[in-house]
Structures are given as structure tokens and as C-alpha cells.
Amino acid sequence: MSGHRAPSLLLNDEQRMLKKTAQEFIREKAPAARLRVLRDSKDELGFSRAVWNEMAELGWLGLQIPEQYGGLGLGFFDLCIVLEQSGRELMPEPFISTLLLGTQALLLGGTNEQKQALLPGVAAGERLLAIGYEEAGAPVVAKRTTDGFELNGQKLQVLDGHAADRIIVSAATGGGGASLFLIDPSQAGVSTTRQHRIDGLSSAILSLDGVAVRNDAIVGEMGKGASLLEAVLERACAGASAQMLGASEQAFADTIEYIKEREQFGVPIGSFQALQHRAVAVFTEIALTRSVVLAAARAIDGAPDDVPRLTSLAKAMASETFLHAAKEAIQMHGGIGVTDEHDIGFYLKRAHAAYMSFGKPSQHRQRWAELHDY
Amino acid sequence: MSELDSFREEARAWVRENAPKSLWGTSGSGPFEGYWGGSKCEETDPDLLRWRDLGIEKQWTAPSWPIEYGGGGLSREQEDIIHAEMKAIGVPRPVAGQGLAMFGPVLLEYGNDAQRAQHLPGIARGEVRWCQGYSEPNAGSDLANLQLKAERDGDAYVLNGQKTWTSHADLSDWIYCLTRTNPNAPKKQMGISVILADLSTPGITVRRIDLISGYSPFCETFFDNVRVPVANLVGKENEGWTIAKAILGHERSSIGRSIARQPGSAQREVVARARKHFSAEEGAIPDPLIRDEIASLGMLEEAFHLTLARIQESAATGTPGPEGSITKIVGSELKQMRFELGMKVAGIQGLGWEGPGFDEDDLQYTRDWLRSRATTIEGGSSEIQKNIVSKRVLGLPEGKK
Ligand SMILES: Cc1cc2nc3c(=O)[nH]c(=O)nc-3n(C[C@H](O)[C@H](O)[C@H](O)COP(=O)(O)OP(=O)(O)OC[C@H]3O[C@@H](n4cnc5c(N)ncnc54)[C@H](O)[C@@H]3O)c2cc1C
């Protein structure tokens, strides 16, 4: 341990302001109850373009995108402030697919041309991105052709793949290596089938049948796709954890409010110690989770050596906290908590989905152990 | 460079130049680790004693106390920096203990000038050791139920009754007591006074209590017609409850900070024990479930340190977050988790009480594991902490408990 000063985990004045404005905007324009409406109306997208565009106008989609590509040039930490607020209302808009997966892949591995072509559109809310990397049975293979590659195979669970304007796909490029390719879903040979998830988000099955791409479709270095993807997923873990933190906070706040009001045996149920102590347990976990999420975001901006361990820590802890907060929220709401009419159930569904995404906590603990040489 | 940053450099340089090398890496540098002092102290380690003397000379044993009372006249931020620099190389504070961490700060706030002048310099120099006379047989969690009687008789209070669980009363010089000065007050919190007593006063007897660990860190303290000067009353008569709570506040945060030690140290300790007992010098710990548990411990430890830093940072900017109240709960759970895992990986080698067939480290570890069961009880149990958080932080209604 050197005695150096650890990066601050506090927000500065502008960041506090951003947090407040984002919270108010989202509470008003994008309450969690929207998930029911979007589901029941069988909305084609599963989210609102209008809300997304308004957020673009407020500058929130380009917070971390450099100014030369149409963004504000702030840090990942600032992006996490908005992500946390989006999590409070379980927003189904494409934060993870576009801002975390797609944009981070371009920022970390994209050429100047690729960034120039896509990032201004992302910041403006016009372009949506996705990444396909999960597969089963039919791995995607890229075969060399005279002027590029031909892609064949299938990707699963491509988050927002049904709505994306560009999808980055990992494919085996021989010699055990993989590379990332940028493809246009409207291209010949590409088809996407939307998958409806329990948590109101959508993913897609992406089939590639003789899809021809040029050499300049490669993102990052040829054959080094796996390590680039790992760096992207670390950032996705941090950003998803910020969303889970916000969601945990909201589920918890709703629960505290409920147990202060609901009366049984002539007293508010929040006066029962059996509930109080469990509420404190959730409160404690949320406080710890806040620290690790902030630390992971800070590391992404300025301490690259700490990124692997702190992002795994954030993902593991935020997943456990959110799931616990959601389960306790339902239990403390009683019968109403398990009805579709009440919003609290959406928190459980998202908690489970988020827990399973980007590595379960047990996988991150294993990675943590490896990173600490045991 | 800001003023604090240049102070940090100064503190770092001083600590690294002066702390005896044999002490480096030996301590978590918490407020309860190191030289506790007092007239009955039998410490012989010359380096520890030299470090104490250097600290006194530099006026850095109680950095933020006023100079006239043996302190260094520095700010709280500067004090935090000094302690952080000691922690960074793992040396103990030059003087530690209850007097510095708990009683002194409260006497500064609530005592009168004569009391401050009488007691604080001795604490800052490690010459006088203090203990806490709060708990009684019928006043544990329900502390306000205490009965130790203090009756006014001329220029003295006469004390009769008993304290219990008095940590290190046998090694201390003075005790700060919660006493019952008005048995007829309408609320039991209202008839309580804080009275200071020299433990050598006739009528005080101290008896040690053995713990499950085999140690006897605490005692029963009996008071039989003990005459204490009226001047030893701190604050006003019957208004001691506020002072009592202030001391408890210092105690809780000190326990949390003492448990913290160096970031990563709990994980390192358990990994080292697992390597030793599994004969696995390198690579993955062979038992994947144990490995997962160690990772959980390591993660909680890191989260705890980050949270302590965050609390300290927001306290320094004048807006302390509600998270302060959870440090005792989490810190004590973390400590128990660490010892439980450390015992689990030792298997039957952890069963030794004394004698042949067990190495010294394992015997000591087993005792420390047993001692760790007390952390969720001492200084207000975890259940009591949770009651406090649910009422004061979450604003939940008081109920039938
Ligand atoms: C190592 C150690 C050192 C100590 N040092 C000192 C010292 O120096 N000076 C001193 O004065 N005291 C000291 N104590 C005493 C300590 O403060 C008390 O042990 C503690 O406050 C608990 O009181 P009790 O032991 O009487 O337990 P009890 O109050 O009888 O509690 C027993 C159990 O009941 C639970 N409980 C009680 N009330 C409630 C409630 N309202 N809601 C839910 N659960 C409840 C408790 O959490 C606990 O689990 C020390 C204790 C230990 C273990």
C-alpha cells in the first residue's frame, strides 16, 4: 500500500445537479409502470424512441463520448450517474446495448472512421447499437474472401438486436482467435428474431447466412476480439451495476414507504422488529454496493489496473443486493406484491435478469479469486 | 499543492522516518491497537516505547486536541491524514485506547476546564489508562436501566453498587461511570450522571471474568461506599445520558475503524491459512466452495473499506451520510466471517486449546476466533444497532419490541 490518495467517491456540484435532473426527468417521463403498457400493447420496439430522443437532447446519451464525435467528453463516472437513475424506474431504453456495449467497443477498439460514422448518431439518439457474443450450437465463423470475410452462424440473446442499426458480432477468424465485426442488419443474409424477456427488455436471435463484410468492418485488431470483448464487458458490468444500484434504491424506498403506511394489528407494519431488522440489512447492502459501483466507475476513468477486480466486485455485489432487495420488497408488500397490478414485481423480474447477465456473481467471485492469485 | 496535500507529505515523511522498523506491518493502526499505557502497564518492547515517546514529543498522540491539553492543535482532517499515513505502513498509533478514542473527545466537549486540565494531558501521554463503567447485571442493551447509586454527601458522591463487563478495569487507573443520581426521575434516562472515579479509591474492588477464549479482558467492578469528590461530576447532575450516548457514538465508530485494518488483510490471512492447511502453496485453492467463500469475504472487505473512505470523505465536507451508522454492524460481521473461514480451513488443526501437536499460530488463532464472537455484542449489540438505524435513519415507527 502506498499512501497515495484514493480517487474520490463523492459527486461534485455538477454531478449532483445531473443526478437530480435525471432523477426528476425519469420519474416524470419514464416511470416503471410503463413496462406494463409497453408489454400489453405489444409495442413493436419495447421502449420509447421519444424518451430516448429527449435524453439525447439533454446531452445524456453523449456524456462520455468525446467532443470530436459529438459528445460532451465527460467520464464513465458521469454516465453512471444517469444509468443509476435509469435503473430506478427500470427503463427499457437501450442504455446497455447502445451506450455500454456498442459505444464502449467503438471507444476502446474502433477506428477513427468507425467512430466518426457512428458515435455522433449515438449521441444524437439516432443510432442504436448492439453486440452479439452469446452462442449455442452454431458458432459464428468468419471465412476469408478476396476482399473481406463471409460470416455464418447464429448469435443468441443479442440485447436490443431487434432495434439496432449496427450490430457488432464476434466471430472465429482461425488459429483459435476471434475478431469483432460491425454488421448492418439490413444487409443480405442477416436476420433477427425478437425475443421477449421477463424483465421487459428485448433481445434477438441473430442469424448470419453468408454475410459478406469488408476488411474495414473489423473492430479492434484482427484475432484480438476476445480481449477487446472482455474489456467491453467489464464496462457493461460497471454500468449495469449502476442501474442495479438505482433499482435497488427505488425498490427499497417504495418498501419503506409502504411499511410505514400499511397497518395491521392496529399499528404500522414497519413497527415490527422482524421487518425493521431485515430492512436495515437491505439498507446496509445498498450502502456497500454504492461504494463499489462508484469505485468501479472511477477506475474505468483513471485506474486501469483496478478495472478487472473492481468491475467484478461491483457486478457480484450489485446483483446480490438487487435480488435481495427485490425479494424482500415483495415479501414486505404481502399479497399485493405478487400481483401484476403492482409495480414491485417488475423489480424482481429485472433483478433476476440482471443477476444472470454479464456473469453471475459466482463467476465474478471466481474471477476475483483468480485475480488475487488464489 | 493544497495545504492538506503538503501536510500529507510532511506527515508521510515524519512517520516513515521515525516509526521503528520493527513495528512496520504489525498493526491495522486502529484507535484500539498498540500501546494502551497507564500506571500498571508492563510493556517492555523498546521500539513500542520509543515510538510512544516520539509521538508525545511531536504532539501527535492526540493530534486534534488543543495544545494546552497535551494535543497537537491540528484539524480533524490533519488528524485523519496522520492516522492514514500510519495505517499505510501498518504501524500502530503511538498511544491507543479508550481514553484517546472515546473518553477524551467527550471530556473535551462536555467537561469543564479544570477536568480537561486534570485528565487530558495524562491520556495524551499514555500515563493514565481509563475504563468504561456502563454495563451492570441488569443494564446491558437496556443501559438506561442502570442502578449504581451515587448519593450526595457534603462535597462528595457516595457510590454503591456494581458494574460488569468492565473491560480492563484491572489494568486501568480511572473509570468513567454512569450512575443513578435520581431514582425517582419520571423517565429512567433522566436520573443519570457521569462521574469519574480513581480506581484506587477505597471501596472499589475489581474481579476478573474469564471468557470462552481463555482470556480475561473484562471484570466485575464493585463499589462499596466509595467517596468521590463532587468535582468529578461531568456536565450537570441528572443530565448524563446525552454524554453517555456521545461516548457510545465514539465507541461504535472506533470499533468499526479498528476492525478495518489494512484493505485486503483479512483475505490474505485466510488465503495463507488455507494454503498452509491444504498444503497448496500456489494456484487455485483446491476446494472450490471454500474458494468462493474466501472471495465473498474479500469482496465484503473491499466494499467495507471503500465505504469507510466514502463516509470519512463526506464527513470531512460537512455532510455526513447515514452510512456511518452501519460501520459497526458490517465491521463486526466481517470480523466474524474472517475468523470462521480461517477456522474452517484449519480443520481439526484448529481444535487445539494448548499443549503439543498444535502450532502457536493455530492456538492463537483459535483463541482469537472465540474472542471474535464478542464483537457483535460489545459496544451495543448488532440488534441494538439495527434498532438505531431503523429508527433514526429509516424513520420507521417505534413498536412493540
Ligand atoms: C468483550 C466485551 C467488552 C465489553 N466492555 C465493556 C466495558 O468496558 N464497559 C461496559 O460498561 N460494558 C462493556 N461490555 C458490555 C456490553 O456493552 C454489553 O454486553 C452489551 O451492551 C449487551 O448487553 P448484555 O450483555 O447485557 O446483553 P443483553 O442486553 O441481555 O442482550 C442479550 C441479547 O438480546 C438482544 N436484545 C436485547 N435487547 C434487544 C432489543 N431491544 N431488540 C432486539 N434484541 C435485543 C441482544 O442483541 C443480545 O443478542 C462489553 C462486552 C463485551 C462482550
**pLDDT exceeds 80 at position B325:** no
pLDDT tens string A118-175: 999 999 999 999 999 999 888 999 999 999 999 999 999 999 999 999 999 999 998 8
Strand pairing class (B156-167; B149-153): antiparallel
pLDDT tens string B193-225: 999 999 999 999 999 999 999 888 899 999 999
| CB atoms B304 and A288 under 8 Å | yes
Average pLDDT over residues A252-277: 97
The single-letter code of the amino acid at B189 is: Q
pLDDT of amino acid A1 = 35
**A76-88 vs A13-29: helix axis angle to the nearest 10?**
30
Report d(CA A183, CA B270) in Å as an integer: 48
Residue-range domains of chain A with CATH = 13-128 (1.10.540.10), 131-223 (2.40.110.10), 226-371 (1.20.140.10)
Across the interface, of B284, B307, B397, the residue whose CB is closest to A271 is B397
Which residues, other chains included, contact B367 with Cβ-Cβ below 8 Å and sequence gap of 6+?
A: B213, B214, B215
Percent of chain B, pLDDT > 70?
Answer: 97
**pLDDT exceeds 90 at position B250:** no
The length of chain A in residues reads 374
Report d(CA B83, CA B75) in Å as an integer: 13
**Whole-Å CA distances, A99 to A64, A200, A306, B89, B123:** 9, 18, 22, 41, 57
Q: What is the DSSP letter of A5?
A: P
Average pLDDT over residues B374-398: 93
Name the phi and psi angles at B264, rounded to 5: 85, -5
3-state secondary structure of B48: helix
| Fold agreement (B3-110+117-124, B130-239) | no
Task: With beta carbons under 8 A apart, name residues in chain B contacting A271.
Answer: 396-400
Say how many Å lie between the CA of residue B139 and the centre of ligand 1: 8
Across the interface, of A10, A281, A372, the residue whose CB is closest to B313 is A10
Across all residues in chain B, what is the average pLDDT? 93
- Strand-pairing partners, residue B320, are none
**pLDDT exceeds 60 at position A209:** yes
| CB atoms A260 and B292 under 8 Å | no
Ligand 1 contact via B387 beta carbon (within 6 Å): yes
How many CB pairs lie under 8 A apart between chains A and B?
136
The single-letter code of the amino acid at A373 is: D
3-state secondary structure of B294: helix
Q: Is the dihedral of CA B226, B230, B235, B236 positive or negative?
A: positive
Exposure string of B175-207, with b = 16+ CB inside 10 Å and e = fewer, is bbbbbbbeeeeeebbebbbbbbbebeeeebebe
Q: If you search the block for the grid coordinates 487445539, which residue do you land on? A: B352
Q: Which of A330, A316, A319, A313 is nearest to A353 (CA)?
A: A319
pLDDT tier, B333 (very low <50, low <70, confident <90, very high otherwise):
very high
**pLDDT exceeds 60 at position A30:** yes
The question of whether B42 is a catalytic residue gets the answer no
pLDDT tens string A210-226: 999 999 999 999 999 99
List, as ranges, residues 36-95 from B with C-beta within 8 Å of A: 84-85, 88-89
Distance from CA of A287 to the nearest CA of B (A): 6
pLDDT tens string A89-128: 999 999 999 999 999 999 999 999 999 999 999 999 999 9
**pLDDT exceeds 80 at position B21:** yes
Average pLDDT over residues A77-97: 98
pLDDT of amino acid B257 = 77
Which residues, other chains included, contact B12 with Cβ-Cβ below 8 Å and sequence gap of 6+?
A: A3, B85, B88
- Strand-pairing partners, residue A167, are A130, A183
The residue nearest atom 19 of ligand 1, judged by CA position, is B378
ipTM of the complex: 0.95
The topology under which CATH files domain B130-239 is Butyryl-CoA Dehydrogenase, subunit A; domain 2 (2.40.110)
Cell of B190: 433522566
Task: With beta carbons under 8 A apart, name residues in chain B contacting A8.
Answer: 313
Say how many Å lie between the CA of residue B148 and the centre of ligand 1: 17
**pLDDT exceeds 80 at position B349:** yes
Ligand 1 contact via B167 beta carbon (within 6 Å): yes
What residue segments make up the domains of chain B, in order of their start?
3-110+117-124, 130-239, 263-393
Report d(CA B203, CA A366) in Å as an integer: 60
Q: How far is CA B123 from the centre of its chain?
A: 15
**Element (DSSP H or E) covering residue B257:** helix B240-260
Distance from CA of A249 to the nearest CA of B (A): 13
Q: Which of A260, A221, A11, A256 is nearest to A111 (CA)?
A: A221
Distance from CA of A5 to the nearest CA of B (A): 9
Across all residues in chain A, what is the average pLDDT? 96
Average pLDDT over residues A25-34: 97
Rg of chain A's alpha carbons, rounded to an integer? Answer: 21
A104 CB-side CA count, 13 A: 24
- Does B398 touch chain A if contact means CB atoms closer than 8 Å? yes
Residues A129/A98, Cβ–Cβ less than 8 Å:
yes
| CB atoms B387 and A313 under 8 Å | no
Q: What is the DSSP letter of B35?
A: -
Task: With beta carbons under 8 A apart, name residues in chain A contacting B309.
Answer: 6, 9, 291
3-state secondary structure of B219: strand
Domain B263-393, second-level architecture: Up-down Bundle (1.20)
Q: If you search the block for the grid coordinates 457480484, which residue do you land on? A: A316
CATH number among 3.40.50, 1.10.3470, 2.60.98, 1.10.540, domain B3-110+117-124: 1.10.540
pLDDT of amino acid B314 = 79
**Element (DSSP H or E) covering residue B295:** helix B288-316
pLDDT of amino acid A14 = 95
**pLDDT exceeds 80 at position A351:** yes
pLDDT of amino acid B30 = 86
A25-39, B8-22, B144-158, B205-219: which range is least confident on average? B205-219
Which of the two residues, B28 and B300, has the higher pLDDT score? B300
| CB atoms A283 and B274 under 8 Å | no
Cell of B227: 467517596
Name the phi and psi angles at A275, rounded to 5: -80, -40
pLDDT of amino acid B401 = 46
**Element (DSSP H or E) covering residue A281:** helix A273-302
